[in-house]
Amino acid sequence: MNEIVEGLLKAGQLILSLDADLIEISLRSLRVTLTAVLISSIIGLPLGCWLAVRRFRFRRFVIATLNALMGLPPVVVGLIVYILLSRSGPFGVFGLLFTPTAMIIAQVIILTPLIASISHQAIRDLWAEYHDLLISLNTTRRQRIATLLWDGRRALLTAALAGFGRGIGEVGAIMIVGGNIDHATRVLTTAISLETGKGNFALALALGFVLIGLAVAVNLIIHSLSRTERSGRW
């Protein structure tokens, strides 16, 4: 119990004193995960929508695979990305290993199936509602997807936020491909992991509370910007 109180105090202290290291790794955490969420959303949202609207032979199989990939173990993703980006790997020439870019790549692989799968479920329900109208109006598939993405935007925002939640707290993959290098690839989660290993529980906890605060803050900001949960809105 003592350690938790100590951690809270320490967290307050770090934040109030605008600790330079804390700010640096917090911003890096945000940058890596927000970029990954953005890229994953650009891929995942239309993909989920397309899967809801399109009928093809292996549709069920693709959706089942996508759902299964939601549970992709980050450590394994990290390992594979590590091998691909390492000097002897196929993408070694780009020298991306142990950079924030490598961390973003790993997170995109982890987040895209999650975002695509959640958006597929949301859009599928909306498509069931809109189906007859959009067919009657003789819309093209592109028009249907655009309509569904726009009218389902609030549900899709939830998908993106779920992706953010998974990304910001993720440690396995970014630890492997980023290497937790101070002032280069250290982020909140890898720093927590390091400090815990060193027995520095108060600092680790403090970083943990900052991480939780960050996740909550981002969600609240996005919700207030998008005016969800207000009466008369969707």
Partner 1 sequence: MVDAAILPLTVTKAVVRRRGKVLVGPISAELETDGLTIVMGPNGAGKTTLLRLLHGMERVSKGQLTWQVPEPMARAAQAFVFQTPILMRRSTLDNVAYPLLVHGVAQTDARARSADWLERVGLADSGSKPAHVLSGGERQKMALARALIREPQIVFLDEPCANLDGRATREFEDLLAETRAEGTRIVMATHDIGQARRLAEDVWFIHHGLIHEAAPAEAFFATPKSPEARAFIQGDIVE
Tell me which of 183, 198, 227, 233 binds partner 1, using CB under 8 A.
233
Phi and psi torsions of 183, nearest 5°: 65, 10
Tell me which of 139, 158, 196, 200 binds partner 1, using CB under 8 A.
139
The angle formed by the CA atoms of residues 195, 107 and 217, to the nearest 5 degrees, is: 65
Question: In whole angstroms, what is the distance from residue 190 CA to residue 181 CA?
Answer: 9
Tell me which of 2, 17, 88, 136 binds partner 1, using CB under 8 A.
136
Question: In whole angstroms, what is the distance from residue 192 CA to residue 173 CA?
Answer: 15
Question: In whole angstroms, what is the distance from residue 104 CA to residue 129 CA?
Answer: 36
The footprint of partner 1 on this chain (CB under 8 A) covers a number of residues equal to 17
Q: State the nearest-atom distance from the C-beta of 152 to partner 1, in Å.
A: 8
Q: Which ranges of the chain would DSSP assign to H, the alpha helix?
A: 2-16, 20-53, 59-69, 74-85, 100-136, 141-151, 153-168, 172-178, 188-197, 201-226
Residue numbers 27-46 binding partner 1 by CB under 8 A: none
Q: Is 197 in the site for partner 1 (CB under 8 A)?
A: no
Which one of the spans 22-30, 66-74, 110-118, 139-147 is the region binding partner 1 (CB under 8 A)? 139-147
Q: Is 3 in the site for partner 1 (CB under 8 A)?
A: no
Residue numbers 110-129 binding partner 1 by CB under 8 A: 126, 129
- Based on the number of CB atoms within 10 Å of its own CB, is 103 exposed (0-12), middle (13-18) or buried (19 or more)? buried
Question: In whole angstroms, what is the distance from residue 19 CA to residue 97 CA?
Answer: 28
C-beta closer to partner 1: residue 132 or 229: 132
Q: State the nearest-atom distance from the C-beta of 151 to partner 1, in Å.
A: 5
Q: Is 130 in the site for partner 1 (CB under 8 A)?
A: yes
Tell me which of 135, 184, 216, 217 binds partner 1, using CB under 8 A.
135
- Interface positions with partner 1 (CB under 8 A): 126, 129-130, 132-133, 135-139, 143, 147, 151-152, 232-234
